[in-house]
Structure 1
Amino acid sequence: MNFNWKHITTLFLALSFWASGQTIVPFADGNGTPTTKSECWDASGITLDGITTSADLSYQWYVSNVSSGSGFSKYTGSGSTSASIGISSNSVTRYYRRSRIYTSGSTTDSNIAIITVHALPTISGTLSVCKGLTRTLTGSGESGTWVSGDTDKLTISSSGVVTGVLDGTTTVTYTDGNNCSVSVNFTVHGLPTVSAGADQSICSGTSVSLSATVGTGTSFSWNNSVQNNVAFSPTSTNTYTVVGVDGNGCIATDEVQVTVLPLPTISGGST
């Protein structure tokens, strides 16, 4: 039994493309109908895959960037003399055809394959937000749609405005007008822990000190010129606010009320 080692090698090459997770674009030879495909760029590669027979000896691919009827020259990219070729051109339309050279010496030209490869969209903007706040992302292209990977963690509007709902990380996916998609990880930061302490009551003319408790890595300050753990003498009932800021720039506040009680009075007449 005789084996056509050229055919076996080519078949193995095509199977290797499938195993790598690349985008495969098949086309047929000789039926007169062009193959027209629009594909999104695949970082693993895009393969234009033609059929093979045991009578094939070799191949030669041609490419044109002009039209399906002119401007063809020998393809010099990956697999140019193999049954299948790897397409590396991005954001362009190209016209491809393949000559099959048989063991008999005759040749057959394939139909034209018109392949448009669209660049993947991009997402720009800061990929994090504090819980309860918003962040605006921008997708490339004139139109597109946004999807949150987990709406319990974040929501995203049709204009790319992200609202942090629950701390954690999930994906945000943008699909452009060519139906090409890109996904990024987006993180929602929880708010820092801040406590102003329990409400207090004091008699007029006496002093009080306030003591805030915050989480690790959180800085804080009081309003109304209050210093933490430093006594002061308020003259009236007031509410004091402590503001904490953590390492992610997220802000939380808490309040404490200090009630100033009037001193008792003594009244009476002379005898």
Structure 2
Amino acid sequence: MNVSGTAPVCFVCPILTNASPNINTCEDSQGQFLSVQTDVSEIDIEFRLFNSQVGNPYSGGTPLGSAVTPSGSPLTATSTVGISGLAPGTYYAYAILDTDDPDLTDSNCRPFEEILIVIDSKPSIDIPNQEICDSTTSVNLTVLEPDGQTGGVWSNGDGDLGDATAADPTTGPFTYTYTDANGCVGSDEVTYTILQELEAEAGEDQTICSGATVSLSGNPSPGMWSTAGDGTFDDASSATAVYTPGANDISGGTVVLTWTTEDPSGPCVGDSDTMTVTINEELVAEAGDDQTICSGATVSLTGSPSPGMWSTAGDGTFDNASSATAVYTPGANDISGGTVVLTWTTEDPSGPCVGDSDTMTVTINEELVAEAGDDQTICSGGMVSLTGNPSPGMWSTAGDGTFDNASSATAVYTPGANDISGGTVVLTWTTEDPTGPCVGDSDTMTVIINEELVAEAGEDQTICSGGMVSLTGNPSPGMWSTAGDGTFDNASSATAVYTPGANDISGGTVVLTWTTENPSGPCVGDSDTMTVTINEELVAEAGDDQTICSGGMVSLTGNPSPGMWSTAGDGTFD
């Protein structure tokens, strides 16, 4: 545009022409210099930049460098600096005279030349950096191209990529370059961060004992535990949860636990891993029920499970302590103490379970030992005072005697006729069966029945004074004695002969006693008496002789009387 003012006399106002063509460029392609031609070399030219079109560019605007003196042929003034730093938009640059030039004496001389500057924005390419898992070996870069900005060129440090649909992510970073319809070029760099893919670790398999819990260690955290069984976790979201197996877990013998990590932010997904818990049955020792035995008996044992070992808190012995069905013989201390504790201890099995032990108590009842007492010897006709032990109990006899109270330990036995005639009888004391395993006992004692001596001095005798007494004492040996003053020819002879003394005769009787000797044993001697009646010997007196006449009778006086007359003739007595 050529605008001319009115020049003063002798002043020629310069003409500005052939300014730089309008500029249409990208924001990153600035740096163009402005120029204008003039016909006067004495007056400097400057360039000013405006954000909009103006009618008087001599006021305002932004100088584009310093004033320039035209030179060359044709005279041309070129800006000392190119356009730069302009944001996308439309600008107007003006070539004007330097009003500070002293050669410009006409204030009305204000020519200018306008240059349109259009700054196009370069494409804004914004492709976010990417994250991939380390298991990804190729990426399709084209899917990252922004909408409306596709079809650009992908490159890396090695140059353009041939096939951006299958790029190796480890060869980045990648640059995407896009040219828009204005020819402006935009680019962005994409970096792939390769993330380590999560690998869940549920930990090593474990073997536990039934009744125990499982201490877990899941990795990495956070995550969640789950079970294929029916047990429970104290906190399933804790990597170090504790798992308590359920009834089905225990009966099944195994349970699978799974640690599943949470999906992390980014492309990688969570992972899971399993571990198996083997549940060994916990040994429960069983020593069997308590037993009560009789002293002197043994204990038949049944320990479970086997193998194992029996032990005693007492002083008895096992026939085979390592046998579950051992037989225990109580010791003296066991018996005197009345009880002993036996323990069955199972062997430690392989694995985490340990052996177990269980006890059973053997109560040892004192075995009853019946005591009927010592044998006794009695005299026939005697009774037997008994002492049975222990009580209660009952007396019985092998004979025909009787007890005053057979259930009394201190009964009195009266032998029967058969007992006496047999000379012995066996008596038995039988204790009652006590509660418990012990049975009653019995013991016998023998009663020897000695025949009681019965002295027999013989029948009473009557003798004539002057006569002797032939004796028969029974039984023998023994001794004759007299209550009178007679004598025995041998007093120790059962068949002694006794001669009465004067006093015996005068007294008319004498008592003789046969006393048997004391036999060995309980029986004592006996004595018996017999009475000897001593009749005075008669002296018959027929009276004096008489002389009578034939035909006469004889009056007789016989003495003593009674008596009987007899004749040596043929007469008769009245």
What TM-score comes out, normalization by structure 1 length?
0.59
| Partner of residue 387 from structure 2, selected from 138, 155, 159 | 138
Q: Does 1:129 align with 2:378?
A: yes
Name the CA distance, whole Å, in 2 between partners of 1:172 and 1:222.
44
- The residue aligned with 2:330 is 87
Task: Give the deviation of 1:183 after TM superposition.
Answer: 0.8
Task: Give the deviation of 1:262 after TM superposition.
Answer: 2.9
Name the CA distance, whole Å, in 2 between partners of 1:49 and 1:139.
33
Query: Is the strand fraction higher in 1 or 2?
Result: 1
- The residue aligned with 2:69 is none
Moved more, 102-111 or 78-87: 102-111
Aligned ranges 1:146-185 → 2 under 5 Å: 146-152=394-400, 155=403, 157=405, 158=408, 159-165=410-416, 166=419, 167-173=423-429, 175=431, 180-185=440-445
Name the CA distance, whole Å, in 2 between partners of 1:102 and 1:171.
57
Instruction: Tell me if the contact between 2:379 and 2:523 (Cα under 8 Å) persists in the aligned partners.
Output: yes
- The residue aligned with 2:516 is 243
What TM-score comes out, normalization by structure 2 length?
0.32
- SS of the aligned residue for 2:469 comes to coil
| Partner of residue 60 from structure 1, selected from 307, 310, 318 | 310
Task: Give the deviation of 1:79 after TM superposition.
Answer: 1.9
Q: Does 1:212 align with 2:468?
A: no
| Partner of residue 364 from structure 2, selected from 115, 127, 134 | 115
Instruction: Tell me if the contact between 2:370 and 2:429 (Cα under 8 Å) persists in the aligned partners.
Output: no
- The residue aligned with 1:187 is 447
Instruction: Tell me if the contact between 2:513 and 2:529 (Cα under 8 Å) persists in the aligned partners.
Output: yes
Task: Give the deviation of 1:191 after TM superposition.
Answer: 0.8
Q: 1:122 to 1:238 in 2, by over 3 A?
A: same
Name the CA distance, whole Å, in 2 between partners of 1:103 and 1:182.
50
Q: Which amino acid aligns with 2:533?
A: V
Q: Which amino acid aligns with 2:445?
A: N
Instruction: Tell me if the contact between 2:288 and 2:303 (Cα under 8 Å) persists in the aligned partners.
Output: no
Q: Does 1:263 align with 2:524?
A: no
Task: Give the deviation of 1:146 after TM superposition.
Answer: 4.1
Q: 1:209 to 1:32 in 2, by over 3 A?
A: same
Task: Give the deviation of 1:77 after TM superposition.
Answer: 1.7
Name the CA distance, whole Å, in 1 between partners of 2:480 and 2:428.
37
Q: Which amino acid aligns with 2:317?
A: S
Q: 1:34 to 1:51 in 2, by over 3 A?
A: closer
Q: Which amino acid aligns with 1:170?
A: V
The unaligned stretches of length 5 or more in structure 1 are: 1-28, 63-72
Structure 1 stretches of 4+ moved >6 Å = 267-271
- The residue aligned with 1:20 is none
Q: Which amino acid aligns with 1:163?
A: T
Instruction: Tell me if the contact between 2:403 and 2:411 (Cα under 8 Å) persists in the aligned partners.
Output: no
- SS of the aligned residue for 1:111 comes to strand
Q: 1:211 to 1:118 in 2, by over 3 A?
A: same
Instruction: Tell me if the contact between 1:242 and 1:254 (Cα under 8 Å) persists in the aligned partners.
Output: yes
Instruction: Tell me if the contact between 1:92 and 1:116 (Cα under 8 Å) persists in the aligned partners.
Output: no
Q: Which of 1 and 2 has higher RCO (CA within 8 Å, sep 6+)?
A: 1
Task: Give the deviation of 1:223 after TM superposition.
Answer: 5.7
Q: 1:222 to 1:231 in 2, by over 3 A?
A: closer
Q: Deviations over 1:189-214 (max 9, x none)?
A: 33167663642422242331423344
Q: Which amino acid aligns with 2:311?
A: W
Moved more, 99-108 or 200-209: 99-108
Percent same amino acid at aligned positions?
14
Name the CA distance, whole Å, in 2 between partners of 1:176 and 1:219.
49
Task: Give the deviation of 1:124 after TM superposition.
Answer: 4.3
Q: Which amino acid aligns with 1:134?
A: M
- The residue aligned with 1:11 is none
Q: CA RMSD in A?
A: 4.2
Number of residue pairs the alignment of both structures matches: 222
| Partner of residue 461 from structure 2, selected from 179, 201, 206 | 201
